[in-house]
Chain A
Amino acid sequence: MQKKVMLGNEAIARGAYEAGCIVAAAYPGTPSTEIMETIAAEYPDIKAQWSPNEKVALEVVAGASVAGARAMAAMKHVGLNVAADPLFTFSYTGVNGGFVIINADDPGAWSSQNEQDNRHYARAAKLPMIEPASPEEARIYTKLAFELSEQFDRPVIVRITTRIAHSQGIVSLEEPKKAELKPFMRNPQKYVMIPAHARPRHVFIEEQMLKLKEYSNTCELNTIEWNSRKRGIITNGVAYQYVKDVCPDASILKIGVAWPLPDAKIHEFCSNVEELYVVEELDPFIEDYVRGLGYKPVGKEIIPVCGELTPEIIDMAINKKKPKNEIPVYSGTIPGRPPALCKGCPHGFVFEVLKKLDVVVNGDIGCYTLAVLPPYSAMHTQGCMGASIGMHLGFEKARGDEMARNSVAVIGDSTFVHSGITPLIDLVYNKGTGTVIILDNRVTAMTGHQDHPATGRTLKGEETHELDLELLCKAVGVKRVRKIDPKNIEEFEKAVREEMEAKEPSVIISLRKCILTK
């Protein structure tokens, strides 16, 4: 069998290809971005696309599944928040063609605004979730997810974390299954969730989850590796690999089905070891469940909830290993190297002006969020994709008209298309008078230069309709829309002053290509 070194995300793309996936959609987000990029680059037969946001991506994939295709959506953990609305109800409709959601959590918040643990979504939405522990498993589990989805009539979530997505390992390559459409039958009782249809579907879902529990108890994804019975460790995902390294003598229950968890295997394991540990990243998801079954494992009292795990954290927690300082400690100060805007970045000109004017800046998600740090220190709020504009209006509602004279919202072009349009409608509709600066660098920069609807190019590099942001802003009712190259710093400053002063909504499109664009 042919083997190749692959990134976890590349292995997922490979798994989708081998499973005969026909449609795939995503919005870029670290650590999930390379999944869709790999599909577009390596497997041209799959109809892959960037959607404007994760909710739309999930809906496109749901449609493809109901229409009979194997289909896959990929997103980062916070992306699933955006897609949570369709997630919970497509759980009710179930699937026709295999329906797979790749969810990439980011313990350590390497490139994210939080460290949420999305295993809770599987439980809340009553969906099976499986969790690979290596790139090779990422390929195998992704493929399997399509099978399970069709077998149990459930969308299946494959959960990875940064250290699976962005770690490389040797992956075997198997022949792809032929991509075939299943017939589409009109079946409103299954696919139209009016209350009368939803109630019986809820009963059906509960039955399916019981069948999945049986699967979880018997499948190879949840495996007991018996070794010394003195110490037993229940673990999952990349933490399994750390445990194998630092506790080679322990017995291990490796959890590959994060939900539903395997009661029978947990009972078998827990009742046969002397000391019981649960080692998992982020929340005590498995640990709480194991406690619910009546056991008393050692878990979060020694394994941190916050941040990502590492081999040494586990080694110190379980083996009480003391860190040894072979090399003396440097007595001076080592300056940190936080990420920063590139030299010549167009956002830099904008924030130079905003810093000078000393205004309140409602910020958003993108490279430009780095303006919160020195040398600019010119961002004062930021939460999630698109929040800048709604928060900007909220500031005005709370503190009055004067607030709008002395503040702006800033949002990137891709982020604006993702989630900025509806709040801009709100700003106009509810008589706000604020100023929105769209930092239009013609690309989704932070995740590595992906296209979006306003670049006029698709994921596959095809030309398409280019969303006209100026026209769009005018269409929602903003009368004052200007387009300025921020490198003309004086003109830009003048525009910001004028638009803040104006007692009606305004949008400044700060137009200049990302310095890293080829």
Chain B
Amino acid sequence: MKNVIFAGVGGQGVILASKILMQVAMNAGYDVKESEVHGMAQRGGSVDCHVRFDKKVYSPLIEKGTADFVVALELLEAMRKLDYLSPQGMLIVNRLKVNPAPVEAGLAKYPEDIESWLCSNVPYCHVIDTTQALKEAGSSRALNIVMLGVLSNFLEFDQKAWEEAIKQSVKEKFIEMNIKAFNLGKNIPVE
């Protein structure tokens, strides 16, 4: 069983990233399930998607302590999902701070030490700098697909399979843009 959580802020596109992952896994012959969040929670709130694939999948939700990957598009959102990671699980987190409403309103503080704390406390942690990739992609909105590209380095599916899944998951006019973003993410060096 592979368990992957995408975590982010409403509007960052975690649903599309998980949709492409599901598609690539289904094309490879796996059973897949996923669970996502709609509605009020999406209005700038924390959002996540759980994706699971294996020969047979029952639950659409991942049990805490069993995620193979947590892919977080924002630093605070990574913190919220740590209890899902399995002991061998990997955290892939984008070096980005998005202030929640209470911080904007001056009612709370965004902790300064998240990145260093994650690096010293999560056994398998990769903090990703997507600045250059997003510049080349031409839009910060490509972040979800760039991060999917980073994740792809740790999964079994080949380039052709990913491109096919992207073609099946996005509108025709966005295919090229998304494949480019995916490749930019894939080529970000991960130490």
- Residues of A at under 8 Å CB distance from B? 3, 5, 30-31, 33-34, 110-111, 134, 163, 166-170, 238, 240-242, 244-246, 310-312, 315, 323-328, 330, 332-342, 367, 369-370, 373-375, 446-448
Contacts and interface: CB of A to CB of B under 8 A. Distances in A.
Interface in B53-76: 57-65, 76
B36 A337 contact: no
Which of A323, A326, A333 has the most CB atoms of chain B within a 10 A radius of its CB?
A326
A74 B125 CA distance: 44
Nearest to A312: B64
B102 A168 contact: no
Contacts of A246: 63
Contact of A446 (B39, B64, B65): B39
A323 B65 contact: yes
Contacts of B115: none
Sort A-B residue pairs by CB-CB distance and give the 4 closest, nearest first: A111-B39, A30-B39, A167-B60, A339-B45
Which of B36, B80, B85 has the most CB atoms of chain A within a 10 A radius of its CB?
B36
Interface of B: 9-10, 19, 22-23, 26, 31-46, 57-65, 76-77, 79-80, 82-83, 85, 87, 100-105, 107-111, 113, 117, 121-123
Contacts of B100: 335-338
Provide the main secondary structure of the chain A interface.
loop
A375 B62 CA distance: 34
Contact of B76 (A245, A325, A335, A341): A335
A244 B63 CA distance: 12
Contact of A334 (B41, B44, B76): B76
Given A111-B40, A327-B121, A373-B101, A170 B31 contact: yes
Which of B22, B32, B33 has the most CB atoms of chain A within a 10 A radius of its CB?
B33
A516 B100 CA distance: 19
A334 to B, nearest CB: 5
A5 B121 CA distance: 37
A418 to B, nearest CB: 16
Contacts of B43: 339-342, 367, 370, 446
Contacts of A338: 45, 100-102
Contacts of B63: 245-246, 310-312, 315
